[in-house]
Amino acid sequence: MKENLPVDELKEVISKTKESYNIENPSIPFIEGDGIGVDIWSPSKDVFDAAVRKAYNNERKIDWLEVLAGQKAFDSTGEWLPDDTISQIDDYGVGIKGPLTTPVGGGIRSLNVAIRQKLDLYVCLRPMRWFKGVLTPTKNPQDVNMVLFRENTEDVYAGKELEATSEEVIKLNSFLKEEFGWDIREDSGIGIKPVSKTASEKLIRAAIQYAVDQERKNVVLVHKGNIMKFTEGAFRSWGYELVKKEFSDVAVSWEDCGGDPGDKILIQDVIADAFLQQILIKPSDFDVIATTNLNGDYLSDALAAQIGGIGISPGGNINYETGRAMFEATHGTAPKYAGQDKVNPGSLLLSGEMMFRYIGWEDAADLLIAAISDAIEKGIVTYDLARGRENATTVSTSDFCNYLVEFIES
């Protein structure tokens, strides 16, 4: 398949993806997840089903198809991530999953990363918004309304490492000194982080097109190009080149407009460490973020803290060029809480809301947001969101989801 589609072809694929789900009974694969996956998946599915029934007058229904990954897959098949799981997600196109454990020992470093890489889900999409009633460490959490596009296939995810003092690192160190004159301490571990023009353009193109579609006012390219000039600095440069080549009718760089974009989307860039400060000081200034993998890791957790924690932070991994996507709870498996029916299912529920919007089921997504907003504002929440809040009613995972179903059906 052709890679790095220009924007006109990309828009066509995005439209066709939504059209393919304009049916009454689509099949959507799901992975229950490890640890607390057993607690959050089933009641969350009940909420998803209720939203679909209400939004479409009982004329649509999702056929949920379980596929295996993680401990459940290993116990059943002897494999942590069976080929059949990847094949079915690839065949059906869009899926959703709970948290997965990281296998101990050799082989797969991370099941989450493996799924992203096998399906080339090059965008990690993380919308960040505050829900009224959630306690946060910041003064004005309502000002946070950003969408993070994190590159999902390169940088540290595709990086290579050699252990300090190993035979391999000694050979590489010698080569680097002889060929480039690089003098690296002999007891250093060495890592390589690839950042390509192809992957950078794909990520930034998706971010700008999202800003166009959602009528956002700006896109900020976050990088550490002042130090890493040929990787992160190149990411910045390739982004600005792409704006001029494919988006000049709808977007303009800060350099070309002096900060006054008129009716166009403003494209700017900020050094990563400065941006971590700016999202605290003036979060309302930023809309859509496009960044490399490691920066995105830091930023997603920092922004999650500003809105009340990772428990209400959803995520999606998307290849806009093929239409493939996997939406997911962004937190860990929390095995010590498994089976207690007490944890917050918010991340999975909101990831389902993202999934509905991705496939064009906006009415179901709107119902989910309305129900979750109502529950949180009224203080009908799980223990983590009740902590420190006056007059909150602490409920179980299942009771929280039951409340959402009742709200949706009312």
Q: Based on the domain organization, do 122 and 3 belong to the same domain?
A: yes
Q: Are residues 176 and 206 in the same domain?
A: no
Percent of the chain at pLDDT exceeding 70: 99
Residues 295 and 365 in one domain: no
Q: What is the rounded distance in angstroms from the CA atom of residue 395 to the CA atom of residue 239? A: 46
My answer on whether 52 and 129 are in the same domain is: yes
Q: Please check the confidence at residue 218 and state whether its pLDDT lies above 70.
A: yes
276 exposure class (CB count in 10 Å sphere: 0-12, 13-18, 19+): middle
Residues 348 and 391 in one domain: yes
Query: What average pLDDT does the chain have?
Result: 96
- Judge if 144 and 96 occupy the same domain: no
**Number of domains observed in the structure of the chain:** 3
Q: 105 pLDDT exceeds 80?
A: no
Establish if 144 belongs to a structural domain. Answer: yes
Residues 200 and 187 in one domain: no
- Domain boundary pick from 272, 307, 342: 307
- Work out the burial of residue 272: count CB atoms within 10 Å of its CB; fewer than 13 is exposed, 13-18 middle, 19 or more buried: buried
Instruction: Give the residue from 258, 281, 307 where a domain finishes.
Output: 307
pLDDT at 161 over 90: yes
- Quick check: 289 and 269 in contact, CB under 8 A? no
pLDDT in tens, 61-72: 999 999 999 999
What residues are annotated to the active site?
Answer: 157, 224, 273, 297
Structural domain ending residue among the three candidates 307, 328, 348? 307
Compute the distance between CA of residue 54 and CA of residue 404 in angstroms, rounded to an integer. 12
Length of the chain: 410
Q: What pTM value is reported for the model? A: 0.97
* Residue 103, pLDDT above cutoff 90: no
What pLDDT, on a 0 to 100 scale, did the predictor assign at position 78? 93
Whether residue 154 is contained in a domain is answered as no
pLDDT in tens, 351-406: 999 999 999 999 999 999 999 999 999 999 999 999 999 999 999 999 999 999 99
* Same domain flag for 55 and 171: no
Q: Are residues 144 and 171 in the same domain?
A: no
Q: What is the pLDDT of residue 3?
A: 85
Beta-carbon contacts of 212 under 8 Å, excluding residues fewer than 6 positions away, are 247, 250, 251, 265
Q: What is the pLDDT of residues 322-358, one digit of tens each?
A: 999 999 999 999 999 999 999 999 999 999 999 999 9
61 occurs within a structural domain? yes
Structural domain boundaries enclosing 33: 1-133+312-410
Q: What is the pLDDT of residues 178-215, one digit of tens each?
A: 999 999 999 999 999 999 999 999 999 999 999 999 99
Domain co-membership, 339 together with 265: no
Three-state SS letters, 142-193: HHCEEEEEEECCCHHHCCEEECCCCHHHHHHHHHHHHHHCCCCCCCCCEEEC
pLDDT exceeds cutoff 70 at 295: yes
Question: What is the structure's pLDDT at 109?
Answer: 73
What mean pLDDT do residues 146-161 have? 94
Residue 108 has pLDDT above 80, yes or no: no
Strand partners, 163: none
**Claim to verify: residue 200 and residue 174 sit in the same structural domain:** no
Q: Are the beta carbons of 316 and 329 closer than 8 angstroms?
A: no
Nearest residue to 328 (alpha-carbon basis) of 49, 46, 89, 78: 89
64 and 140 assigned to the same domain: no
* pLDDT value for 247: 98
pLDDT, position 1: 59
Structural domain contains residue 118: yes
Q: Among the listed ranges 100-104, 188-192, 222-226, which one has the minimum average pLDDT value?
A: 100-104
Higher pLDDT, 109 or 393: 393
* Confidence at residue 51, expressed as pLDDT on a 0 to 100 scale: 98
- Residue 150, both tokens: 């994190």
Structure tokens at 270: 């900020």
Predicted confidence at residue 2, as pLDDT, reads 72
CATH number of the domain encompassing residue 28: 3.40.718.10
